[in-house]
Amino acid sequence: MERKIVKTIKGVAASDGDGVQLTRIIGSPELDMLDPFLMLDSFASDNPGDYIGGFPEHPHRGFETVTYMIAGKMRHKDNAGHEGMIEAGGVQWMTAGRGILHSEMPEQTEGLLHGFQLWVNLPAKDKMLPPAYQEFKASEIPDEVFDGGSVRVISGVTDAGTLGAVQGTATNPLYLDVTLNGVFKQKIPASHNGFFYVIDGEIAGVSAGHVGILGDGDTVALRGDGRFLLIAGARLNEPVARGGPFVMNTRKELLQAFDDYRSGRF
């Protein structure tokens, strides 16, 4: 059954970190979450004042953060000694697990910084796993060309069999960056929630800066001229206890996360 667009939402202006100006796509009053997705932010500006403050050290527990850069550079560092650079076209898929302190700071003082950060919930059984990373440069992310466009396969597998760079994550996610002038078809498991975010142009009647929420089904066909992210992940169907940078299943677990952070147990 083909999935239809059941709702279209425009991202809302927001600020996070040390004054970084961004657009909140998921995690807003209009769309609090789309199981298993907790948040999706887009940041795009060539004004250093909008991004130079970056995201100084902050904690996470119980979910995954996915940073995908379109333009510019972002340096990340954590309290376990891990440090690296996410450059244009690169992705970092971080599993926070039981807890980590990290920072993400622009490695530039001028020019365009453009990227996305997605938060993906973890199932209860995985929330206290040790932190882990999967990082890939632009050259390490598979590209596929098809009649009418191309797709960068960050996670999941395309109908043509191209396997994404990121593998082995809990929600079996699909994360595609598609450039299109025609029609793009893709299977999405019926067990998954899915959506697409239009970066440029117009896709399936949805304009840039808007997200199209996909209904039930096992495949999608999107027609248009532009660039978009197509993202899907398995529904966890678990209770969510959320407090800022911590996402657990119960209030007790959430309070424990705050206590562990204050006590220096991250």
Measured between alpha carbons, how far is 42 from 56 in angstroms, rounded to an integer? 18
| The total number of structural domains that make up the chain | 1
Q: What is the Cα 159 distance to its own chain's centre?
A: 21
Distances (CA, A) of 28 to 9, 33, 38, 98: 10, 8, 10, 25
Contact predicate 71/116, CB 8 Å? no
Residue 81: partners with Cβ closer than 8 Å, 6 or more residues away: none
Mean pLDDT of 64-68: 97
pLDDT over 90, % of the chain: 95
What pLDDT is stored for residue 178 in this prediction? 98
**Token code pair at residue 203:** 């896709």
* Peptide bond just before 36 cis, omega within 30 deg: yes
Q: What is the CATH number of the domain that holds 69?
A: 2.60.120.10
**Token code pair at residue 207:** 């304009």
**Token code pair at residue 155:** 């996670």
Parent domain of 219? 5-262
- Read off the DSSP letter of residue 166: B
Give the up-direction half-sphere exposure of residue 138: CA atoms within 13 A in the CB hemisphere.
9
**Which residue has tokens 């593998």?**
167
Q: Long-range contacts of range 27-31, CB-CB < 8 Å, 24 or more positions apart?
A: 27/119, 31/211, 31/213
What is the per-residue pLDDT across 140-189, written as a single tens digit (0 to 9) for each?
A: 999 999 999 999 999 999 999 999 999 999 999 999 999 999 999 999 99
What pLDDT is stored for residue 266 in this prediction? 87
